[in-house]
A and B are shown apart, each in its own frame.
Chain A
Amino acid sequence: MKLFRHQFALELLKLFARKRSYIGFGAFLVAEIFILLLLRLKPAEEAFAKLLEQNGFGFDYYFSGLTLAFLIMANTVFFLGSLYLSLVAGDMIAKEAEDGTLRMVLSRPVSRLRVLTIKYLACLVYTASLMFFIVVTSLIAGVSYRGLGGLFVYAPLEGVFGIYDTGPGLLRFTYAALLLPFATSTISTLAFMFSCFNMKPATATILTLSLFFIDFVLRLIPYFKSIEGYLLTYHMSTWTGVFQFHIPWLKILESLVYLGAFNITFVIIGAVAFCQRDFKS
């Protein structure tokens, strides 16, 4: 166990010492600042004020840091998050196989399954750290622009509408921060699975994103409403449920079980491919 911890710590060091791992963090910061700058524009503020006032809520109190943070998260996590998670997870095995470092590791007396487990755990840690980063920096960016205030939530695709004071609003953000890593781990796991096959890292990333976007498009087509329960993106958006007035814990749990099942399936497929493939220069 001590050796496993040592190997895992070195795997994390390897992951976080690489500049490429920080592209996602940087991109989110830029996106957050950009969205905030756009929201300062008069037409954007006016549209928001109209939406709030139509529903009988005060603009000054609810056009707040919390509301802006939710807006930023809701619009960036899904697409930017998937992009950078699949970029890093798609690299985990495929890049090392391409570079040849994996051959050096596999010439050691270690089972392939152990190497895979260590890398997958590191991939999950990366997913969690990126998601926490997004929640925290969205809040910091939003609050530094508009202060704390109330929280107004409106996400039509997910059917989420809610209005909260500061305290309960912050509590919902805490729930979201805890749920997001689970919700998005499926994208990382999917990219990780492709990474286990004999393919280039970019191919693993592109395949993941293609499946993700196809899944999302299917979700948008109204005729497929009856099958949305089988779609990845439907369950991945479960984190927005914590912003509903009555949090649908059962539905969230059900989605987490689905995502867990997806993850287990992807890991098993990846492990079988990884354990059977040949590594050659």
Chain B
Amino acid sequence: MIQLDNLNKRFGNRMAVENLSLEIKAGTLYGLLGHNGAGKSTTIGMMLGQVMPDSGRVLLAGHDVQKNRADALANVGAIFETPSFYSYLSGRRNLEIFCSYSREVSAREMTEAIDLVGLGKRIDDPVRVYSHGMRQRLALAQALLPRPKILILDEPSEGLDPEGIYEMRELIRNLHQRYQLTILICSHLLAEVEQICREVAVMRQGKLLFHGDWKAASGAPSLESFYLQTVRADREKR
């Protein structure tokens, strides 16, 4: 469903992503881990056609993002680390604007997505009065419209309070079970990722250190200890 082939991206002197190859099968809930500057956001940027790779390619549902952007992104929904909206417009209007760049979305589809993220009563309020949690929910609603097969979530729980984090986790789990979506989550919250993802990729300084089922591959008691072991081993090696 998601295939990255030998991706490379350099910003000035810094190699942001180096020879990254990864395959994520359909229906998987996959975690992308790494410290700040590891290359996660650049990788997501390349997946969504926002960052041009120096070499390599990204295939989404079999379509090359660089060559066939319209088909590649037709079934993809994404949210970013800090979701941005037109704050002077209502949540509903924002959804209309973003969705208009995919295809026409019926009123029923929109209501479904709004209800799913629990924004029903506040959707016609201007976004400027939304709390951070509500903005995250709105971001998720826009990612779900029109109904995608792949969800790419960059720090979906960023800035949320514990209750918000729990709700977001349940929402993601629910979406995965209900619609069999392929979901890629990029997060710093290892405990969160551990609860929903069996398969993860670990990146450090632009390189892929590990990918696959972390539990099967290691005897680590938690994702956090597995992550730290992996990253430290790479640091010592270099």
Contacts and interface: CB of A to CB of B under 8 A. Distances in A.
A19 B88 contact: yes
Interface string B78-121: 10111111101100010011101111100000000000000000
B73 interface: yes
18 contacts: A6-B104, A7-B101, A17-B86, A17-B89, A18-B88, A19-B88, A101-B84, A101-B86, A104-B83, A106-B49, A109-B70, A110-B101, A111-B70, A279-B51, A280-B42, A280-B50, A281-B41, A281-B80
Interface string A66-109: 00000000000000000000000000000000011101111111
A206 B103 CA distance: 37
Nearest to A279: B50
B74 interface: yes
Given A103-B50, A109-B69, A17 B88 contact: yes
Nearest to B51: A278
Give the interface centre of A6, A107, A276 by most chain B CB atoms within 10 Å. Answer: A107
Interface of B: 41-42, 45, 48-52, 69-74, 76, 78, 80-86, 88-89, 93, 96-98, 100-104, 142, 152
A3 interface: yes
Contacts of B74: 109
Interface residues of A, number: 28
B98 to A, nearest CB: 6
A31 interface: no
Given A18-B88, A107-B78, A10 B70 contact: no
A57 B146 CA distance: 69
A155 interface: no
Interchain residue pairs A-B with the least CB separation, the first 7: A100-B84, A108-B101, A109-B73, A279-B50, A110-B101, A107-B78, A278-B51
Given A6-B100, A109-B102, A280 B45 contact: yes
A14 B104 contact: no
A281 B70 contact: no
Contact of A104 (B49, B51, B84, B104): B84
Contacts of B104: 2-3, 6
Contacts of A104: 80, 83-85, 98, 142
